[in-house]
A and B are shown apart, each in its own frame.
Chain A
């Protein structure tokens, strides 16, 4: 019975609010805007405040991401890839499952890291406080940050030692999970589905080419690569594989992917093992052994 009363009073309250908003809708949205400017972000010991980021946003971000945060800045018509539309609350680089909001730290890392092969530069020259304030500002553009909580970050255990067995198991996974359909048998981004890929806005998009030496968009470390295929890049064709790859197997795939890259700061061991094994690119026409790894 109490709930009933609460419901009725809630309804009454809602009715009054509706009336108020009918009187002045513009004021209501201004009110919401002000409310959202109270948005905070938390990374380590830092607390970011959206209000404090307004000047930096207008100075550094507005040209591409736009006054409204909708990715419609004055540079946008000339950009490919297009700037992120923050009002959708959808982000590529996350430590959280597909379909959930990223953590504040994910956004903070993206701002610091920049996005390779786009015009989004590295912003780590900005003081930490400024960057965390900008994270809060990015969040204030979407009501999702009011109605939803970020996803629970996936658990990434300690990285095991790279072994020949793990590299080989990773190669089996690469074939079995059909990574090659888009990324190609040698990781050259020339798989059979590569030329028809589109992002969520039906714009053509290319898969990552492992052989070019470019940094993956969401980070270069082993843990970053682990995160990329275990959470997916939302808004792009890259799905999450976490339902069908066990946490330990994921490292095998990371190690194999390293062998496809040219020499970099992270893949010395993997490349040496591949050389020693005389590892050849996969042949999708040769069926995998029945007992191969990666069985879901």
Chain B
């Protein structure tokens, strides 16, 4: 390759990249983790609705696990300081599409005939492990609308299932037909996300500096959005409050 060829290649590359950048709005290179993040607290304004107790007498091995503290439904789980748990926080607008995927695997465990965690979030590029820690069979039956539905039996002691999801969907209900009280949600997100803990605290890690729309989803109360501008190299605080109904 002589100098002339080289420079023409470089020139045309520059032009193409410029055009591509215009058309695809910044899909040129993957944004590396920036060290900046979004953190905050989800609050519940008001008293959480009563969560019905679960009668597990049909499954004695699970009933035994909950004999000291009966299991309850988990549609609204409020913590001590008015914090709201199991809220999925994700970026609904403003991603470049080239964020580094969330690292590590996500695990959904069936224990005491409940899903732990009750709400699990997973990046469309992550693997999700489904574990049966009980001494009874479960069937894992996600019922998505934007992904393929499936239904598989997982007897006690069997190997975890390795599950991936093709399409963003917030959130996929999952149930076990053998134990009709068992249900949870799998939030399939594209890009970084956080799920609030029992105190309502969440962290959305590795968000490149910029302006975004942040969405918080709760299974009973639905979604809320806020605009957020993430500064470089630090945690930007955003809080959400859901009104108890």
Provide the bound-state CA to CA distance between A244 and B59, in Å: 21
Which residues of chain B have C-beta atoms less than 8 A from A176's C-beta? 155
Convert A226-252 into 0s and 1s, putting 1 for each residue whose CB lies closer than 8 angstroms to a CB of B: 000000101111111111100000000
Which residue among A177, A196, A239 has the maximum number of chain B CB atoms within 10 Å of its CB?
Answer: A239
Task: Give B68 Cβ to nearest chain A Cβ, in Å.
Answer: 23
Q: Is the Cβ of B180 less than 8 Å from the Cβ of A99?
A: no
The total of chain B residues at the interface (CB under 8 A) is 32
The verdict on A278 contacting chain B, using a C-beta distance below 8 Å, is no
Asked whether A240 lies within 8 Å of B150 as measured between CB atoms, the reply is yes
- Asked whether B20 is an interface residue with its Cβ less than 8 Å from the other chain, the reply is yes
Question: CA of A232 to CA of B12 in the docked complex: distance in angstroms?
Answer: 55
Q: Which residue of A lies closest to B150 (CB)?
A: A99
Question: In the complex, what's the smallest C-beta–C-beta distance from B174 to chain A, in angstroms?
Answer: 13
Q: For chain A residues 184-235, which have a beta carbon within 8 Å of chain B?
A: 192-193, 196-198, 200, 232, 234-235
Q: Which residues from B are CB-within-8-Å of A295?
A: 157
- In the complex, which residues of chain B have a beta carbon less than 8 angstroms from the beta carbon of A237? 139, 141, 151, 177-178
Q: How far is the CB of B54 from chain A (nearest CB, A)?
A: 13
Does any Cβ of B come within 8 Å of A23's Cβ?
no
Q: A5-B16, A193-B178 are in contact. Are A238 and B151 (CB under 8 A)?
A: yes
Known A5-B16, A193-B58, A237-B141; judge A178-B151 contact (CB<8 A).
Answer: no
Residue of B nearest to A295 (CB): B157
Cβ contact within 8 Å between B179 and A239: no
A12 vs B48: C-alpha distance in the bound complex, in angstroms?
50
Are B16 and A240 in contact, CB atoms less than 8 angstroms apart?
Answer: no
* Cβ contact within 8 Å between A4 and B20: yes
Judge whether A119 is part of the interface by a CB distance below 8 angstroms: no
CA distance A4 to B24 in the complex (A): 9
Within the complex, what minimum Cβ distance (angstroms) separates A97 from chain B?
8
Please determine whether B149 and A193 come into contact, CB atoms closer than 8 angstroms: no
A167 within 8 A of B: no
Contacts of A235 in B (CB 8 A): 149
Provide the main secondary structure of the chain A interface: loop
Asked whether A182 is an interface residue with its Cβ less than 8 Å from the other chain, the reply is yes
Contact, CB under 8 Å: B159 / A198: no
Contact status B152-A232, CB under 8 Å = yes
Per-residue interface assignment for chain A, residues 85 to 117, with 1 indicating a CB less than 8 Å from any chain B CB and 0 otherwise: 000001000000111100000000000000000
Which listed residue (B17, B159, B178) contacts A182, Cβ 8 A? B178
CA distance A295 to B23 in the complex (A): 55
Residues on the A chain within 8 Å of B157, using CB: 295-296
Q: Quick check: A296 and B158 within 8 Å, CB to CB?
A: yes
| A181 contacts B by Cβ under 8 Å | yes
Residues of chain B within 8 A of A234, CB atoms compared:
149-151
In the complex the two chains form, is B151's CB within 8 Å of A240's CB?
Answer: yes
Within 8 A of B (CB), among A165-184: 176-178, 181-182
Structural contact, A8 and B152, CB atoms closer than 8 A: no
When each residue 127-165 of chain B gets 1 if its CB lies under 8 Å from chain A and 0 otherwise, what string results?
A: 000000000110111010000111111110111010000
Give, as a whole number of angstroms, the nearest-CB distance from A190 to chain B.
13
List of A residues within 8 angstroms of B150 by Cβ = 97-99, 232, 234, 240
Asked whether A1 lies within 8 Å of B16 as measured between CB atoms, the reply is yes
A238 surroundings in chain B (CB, below 8 A): 151
Decide if A192 touches B58 in the complex (CB within 8 Å).
yes
Bound-state CA distance A182–B59 (Å) is: 13
**A12 vs B141: C-alpha distance when bound (angstroms):** 40
Cα–Cα, bound, A197→B143 (Å): 15
Residues of B within 8 Å of A232, CB to CB, are 150-153
Cβ 8 A contact of A11, one of B24, B154, B158: B24
CB distance from B24 to the nearest CB of A (A): 6
A7 at the interface (CB under 8 A from B): yes
How long is the Cα–Cα vector from A191 to B158 in the complex, in angstroms? 22
Which residues does chain B contribute within 8 Å of A1, judged by CB atoms? 12-13, 16
Check A200 against B16 for contact (C-beta < 8 Å): no
Q: Most chain-B Cβ atoms within 10 A of its Cβ — which of A4, A235, A241, A295?
A: A4
Known: A7-B20, A237-B139, A240-B150; 19 extra A-B contacts, CB below 8 A, are A1-B16, A4-B20, A8-B24, A99-B150, A99-B151, A100-B148, A176-B155, A177-B153, A177-B155, A181-B137, A234-B149, A234-B151, A237-B151, A239-B177, A242-B152, A243-B152, A243-B158, A244-B154, A296-B158
4 nearest CB pairs, A to B: A99-B150, A237-B177, A239-B139, A296-B158
Which residues of A pack against B, CB within 8 Å? 1, 4-5, 7-8, 11-12, 90, 97-100, 176-178, 181-182, 192-193, 196-198, 200, 232, 234-244, 295-296
15 contacts between A and B (CB under 8 A): A1-B12, A1-B16, A4-B24, A5-B16, A100-B148, A178-B137, A181-B178, A193-B177, A197-B180, A198-B180, A234-B150, A241-B152, A243-B152, A243-B158, A243-B159
